[in-house]
Every structure is written in structure tokens, then in C-alpha cells.
Amino acid sequence: MSGHEPDTPTPAEIIPPLGDQELEALREVGRHWNAVVEPRVHRLRELPVDPSLKRASDGPRAGRFSRFTELTSFEPEGKDEVEATAAATTPVSQLGRLVEAVERVVIGPPLRSSAVVHERMRNLVALPVLGSDLFASVAYGPESMLAVLVLAGASGLRVSLPLAGVLVLLMLAVGASYRQTIAAYPSGAGSYIVAGDNLGERAGVTAAVGLLADYILNVAVSVATGIAAIASAIPSLRPYTVVLGLGMIALLLAGNLRGVREAGHLFAAPTYVFLFAMGLLICVGLEQQAGRGFAATPPPPIKPVEGLTVLLVLRAFASGSTSMTGIEAVANAVPAFKPPEWKNARTTMTWMIGILVAIFVGLMLLIHLDGIAWNPNQTVLSQLAHRSFGNGVTYGFIQAATAAMLLFAANTSYNGFPRLLFFMARSEHAPRPFLQMGDRLAFSNGIVVLTIAAAAIFAGFNGNLQALIPLFAVGVFVAVTLSQAGMVVHWWRNHGPHWHRAIAINGFGATLTAIVVTVAAVTKFTAGAWVVVLGIPLLVWLCLRVRAHYRVVHEALAVQPLPDTLTQPRGAAAKQAGYVPTPATGERQESPEHVQHLMLVAVERLDLANLRALAYAASLEQPLLALHLSPSDEEAERFRKEWDTWAVPLRLEIVVSPYRALVAPLAHYVDALQAQRPELTLTVILAELVVHHPWHRLLHSQVAPRLRLALRTRPNIVITTIPFHLPA
């Protein structure tokens, strides 16, 4: 067991803390600020409104947000910070409120950030949620292997049992490897973390990209297989394959946006029903075979179109290896388990491998004993069910359970893909918006991206399973190979108990999966695997470019110590102090002496861009209030300590937004302040990063334009941005 602690993603990840060097520089900058603002500190601190909103109930409540009183939007009593309530997250536009109403019907009400600790899975929920992809793969893995072996006729089918034995060995080796990975890396992210820690950044990103590709293809393949099973039973639905598949993907989107726990309960039933159906099929089939003395039935006469060559056997092995697609899901989602996370994850992994091997071995034995051959018009499972149950109700149950399992197997991707993107975004290999949790504490951005990509591939290939399968094996086994190779290096560097045996297990697994990757990439290149083979390096390059951009951003925004030659301001302007607010008048405000100001600076973190925004506001010598929106109490406390480290006597208010909304609480807060003094001119100042390439804008949040859109109709509200130009 390594020193890694379980790492649960939290909403506070979106705002990274300052480093030690930045904190030290911040102290130095704060001392200089104190010297500069000391003559006018009284004027800067005396505000014409109450930022804590404790007296807001006594003031006017007119305005576009009139149905939300100040005290229903914010809760100031008994807290050091102002907290935005659920009412404060309501969008400010009519269209936004309409969209929100639809969202509430589909995915439910928002959850507080503190509820993230409750969104954990018990083992009985984790088994179907994370194992649905793995279990469902036995419905198309053996069939894909037989589809290759049948090219060599009956002699090719006789190789199926030895190949199945090798595949079982591969399953056990990879399963044992991932059990060790879970214990060594309980923070999750599996192949990405293991390969990155032990083989370097490029290997880690390559493993992550391979898994992302596999997750996307898993949704497309699972849905295509499930729709094909339905269309086989009801041929009249075949023309609607694409429409039915896209509808199923939309259902998966809605179910997963509701959050991890609800998705687990929603998708648990089909998995357990499928496992029962497979157990029933295997037990009845073996009982019938026992009555016949286990005498194998010869397969039907098949005219060979290829010779039984080593290349054909390797192609069949690569196709059959799809029977273990999704085996990495548990290692990627360790933090989603109930404590102790890594022990529960290992238990679930053991059960998953045991169930997988039992079903795979049972099906392959029945296929061999019943003389089943691949048939383009009827699936292998359908043929087995026909042999055991005829065309009765039990046959229909087996088919329905298989179809449901195949359709819902895509749910594994909806757990793994967004979580892996979270880890990549935290390491800055993916855009930072993938760190953000949605209303239901799900990684909504990652879920939406997965849905769009999978739907595009599914529709682009017209839901044709045979066209999608060649793309399938490369990505996942690239990740598995790099993960196990990384574990070999890990054990070599950290000689733990039985490390020689651990190296042997991981090395053997890495060798087998490397063979799978090579064979799949070479033999299926022209059949469609070229998309993944060429796409993975392209995406790796893109991820590394994203990381390079964020490094430039960090270097540009880092707080730097002040130069020794910096002098303090002199003159009458530096001696001005004090601010006496004048009573409200009905005069127009075209003349400067009639304008009463409040400068509100929205500060995300105390970096160079935000310090420039504060400096700009302070230089105007008007009452100034700094406002920080925090997604959690913990992050709020951390920011307050950083502010105290800066030690500049400006007024600071922290609004805790436990539902993670930014623009709506900020807009409601501005409205609540102005409701106390309607004649006040309130200037909202935000730091804005200016990038040189248009695509870089996708890597940063666009709060200023959204806030400007939300408040554009409000009188006496000024939205201004302080541009910070990033280097090219």
C-alpha cells in the first residue's frame, strides 16, 4: 500500500490555492499596498451599503429580481461569510429560468457542495454501475472471436476453446494487476496516474486518451449491439436503428446528469437481471449437456474462405479480447466507493473478475458443445437460448435481458469518462471546465461531451456494429498495457512485500495486452482501426498543448515580488482620506459631483490579474468592496487566510455558493446591494484574461460576458473588465 490517500473530487478543485512562493510575494506586495493606501484607507473602507446584507430586509425590494428578496437569496446570520441560497442560483433571464425549469424536471433539484460526501456507492451498487460494461462484453466478445474463426471453416472453430483459455488467463492477469493498482493508487484514475507517475507525462496522457477513446466507443458499440438485438427480435424496427440508438443515448445522458447514486440505482436492475439470465442459460445448458454425456455436436458445414493461419488466430484473439472491455473501470473510480474506498474497490474488482470468468467459460463451453457457429442473422446468445429454451417465454426473457444489459452497459463510460477528464483537467491536460461539478454533483461537462461524441460516432456509422468493432480494442489495451508497464516500474522502484511476484504478474499482463494492441492495430487498421491509431497521437499532442498553455498562464499570473526601486506616491492625492456619503437625491447623475460610487471587485484568487483589478479600483479612490464567491466553506476559509496573508485593510465579503453557480449569485448580490441605495452607481470590476489564439478562449471561463448579459437592463450598474494580456 503506497502513501497515496483516497482523493475524492470536490467543487473546490476549480479554484487552485496559491503556492508558498506566491504567498511570500503576496506578503511583500501587501506591505507596499498598506503604505500606499494608508492615507485613504478610511475612505476605501467606509461603504454606503451593508455588504453582509444583515439590514437588507429593511430596505427597498424593487427590481427585476423582486420575487427573490435579499434574505431569501442570501443567508448572513450566524456565519462569517454570506451564503447564497438555492434561490440565488436562479438564472436572471426569462429564457434561463425556462431552461432551468426543464432541467429540474429532468435531473432534479441542485445538491449542495457538502453533499458530495454522500454521493458514494456501496459495493452492491458499484458492481452493476462499474461492471455493466465488463459483463455486457461477453455478449459480443465471443461472437467477435467466432466471426473471425469461421473464416477458416469448421477447423477454425475448433481453435475457440484454446483461445478462450488464453483469454481467461489474460482476464485473471489483468484483474490481478488492477487489484494491485487499486491498493497502490487509491486516488483513482487508474492507467492515467500509474503510467504518468512511472513512465512519464506522455505515457500517462497516452493512456488517458486511449481510455477516453474506449469510453466513447463503448457507448456507441453497446448501444449498437443492444439495438441490433432488439431489431433481431423485431425486424420491423431495423429501419429505425439510428433513431432508437440516439434516443437511448439521450436517456443515458439524463440518467447520469442526476448524479452517481441515482444513476447507480437506475442501472443496477438490468445488470443483475442479465447476470441471472446468463446464470440460468449456462446452468440449464450444462444440465442438458450432462444428459447427453457432454458429447460435442459438430458445427454446421462451413466453407472456408481463409486458411487457419497464425495471423487469423491472432485476429480472433484480438477480437475475443473485447470480452474484457471495461475491466479498468473500478481502478478509475476508487474515490466513488464508500470508505474504506480502496478495500471496497478491490472487493468489487474480485467479484467482477470472478463473475466475468464464470460467464465467459460457461458460454464458451456451451458454444463448443452445441456446435454453435457465427451467423450474421442471429446472435450467438440467441442461438444458445434457442437450443435450451426453444421459442418460449424463457427465450424472450434471455433476449430482453441481454438487450437491456447491452443498452445500459454504456453507463460504465458515463462514470469513467467524466471522472478521468476531471483528473486530466486537474493536471491541466484538459480544459479546466471539466473540473466543475453540475447541479447534481456530477461532472456535467464531461457527460455532455461524451454524449455528443458517442452520438456522432453512432450516427456516422449508422449504428452498424460490425463497422464499430474494429475501432474498439486498440484504445483500452493501449491504456491497460501502459498501466501494467507502469506498475512494473513502480514495484521496481518501491520494493514492497512480494514485489518479485508483483512484477511477474504485471509484466506478464503487460506482455499479453501489448500483443493484443499490436495485433488489433495491424490486422484491423484498414477495417477502421486507423481512426483510433491515428487519433490517439493527435489527441495526445492536443492535451500536451493544453498543458503548455496553462503553464504560460501560471507564469503570467503568478504574484511577483516588487522591485526595489518602487517608490511610494507623493502629493496631495496621497494625503486624501475619508468618505462621507451624501443623502439620496432626485438629481440626475450626469455631473460628477452627483455620482455616488461603490466599486465591487470580484476576486477569484489573489493572483496577478486580480491584484491588478484591485489596484485599478483602489486608484479611483472610491469606496471599494472585494467579493469572493466560494464553492465550499473549506475554500472560503482558505481564501480568507490568503487574504489575511496579504494583510491590506480593504473590505472583503465572501459569498459561499454551495450549488457552484457563479453568475446568478453574483447578479443577485449586486441587486441586493443596490436595493439598499437605488441611486448608487455600482461598478463591478472583473479581471479578464486576454489570449492570443481564439481556441484558447475555450480553456477559460467567460464570467464577464455572462454577467454583462445578466445585468444589461439594470440602471446604475457598470460592468468593467481589467484585461490581463497573456504572452503569445
DSSP per residue, 303-319: --SS---HHHHHHHHHH
pLDDT greater than 70 at residue 47: yes
* Average pLDDT score over residue span 464-490: 82
d(CA 209, CA 539): 7
Q: What confidence tens digit (pLDDT) does each residue in 251-281 have?
A: 888 877 776 454 556 667 888 999 999 999 9
- pLDDT at position 164 is 94
Query: Rounded CA gap, 405 and 270, in Å?
Result: 6
Find where cell 456619503 sits: 581
- For the segment 546-562, the average pLDDT, to the nearest whole number, is 84
The superfamily CATH assigns to domain 121-551 is: Amino acid/polyamine transporter I (1.20.1740.10)
Mean pLDDT across the chain, nearest whole number? Answer: 80
Where are the domain boundaries for CATH 1.20.1740.10 in the chain? 121-551
Q: How far apart are CA 670 and CA 656, in angstroms?
A: 15
Closest CA to 82 of 727, 514, 640, 469: 640
Q: Which of 104-118, 413-427, 706-720 has the highest mean pLDDT?
A: 413-427
Q: Judge contact between 232 and 378, C-beta under 8 A.
A: yes
The pair phi, psi for residue 680, each rounded to 5°, is: -75, 140
Find the range with the poorest average confidence among 116-125, 239-248, 486-495, 601-610: 116-125
The pLDDT value given to residue 570: 40
Tens of pLDDT, residues 131-158:
888 898 888 889 888 988 998 988 888 8
Got the DSSP string for 533-583?
A: HHHHHHHHHHHHHHHHHHHHHHHHHS--PPPTT-----SHHHH-----PPP
The pLDDT value recorded for residue 352 is 94
Please give the pLDDT value at position 451.
93
Q: Which residue intervals of the chain bear CATH 3.40.50.620? A: 36-108+595-725
**pLDDT digits over 310-369, tens only?**
888 888 888 888 888 878 878 877 877 888 888 899 999 999 999 999 999 999 999 999
In this structure, what DSSP letter does residue 528 have?
A: I
Whether 244 shows a pLDDT value over 70: the answer reads yes
Task: Give the tens place of pLDDT for each residue, 397-426.
Answer: 998 898 888 877 777 788 778 888 888 888
**Does the pLDDT of residue 453 top 90, yes or no?**
yes
In the prediction, which pLDDT does 57 show? Answer: 46
As a whole number of angstroms, the distance between CA 492 and CA 394 comes to 53
More confident residue, 726 or 43: 726
53-111 pLDDT tens trace: 765 444 444 444 433 344 456 665 455 666 666 555 666 666 666 766 666 666 666 66
Q: Would you state the CATH architecture of domain 36-108+595-725? A: 3-Layer(aba) Sandwich (3.40)
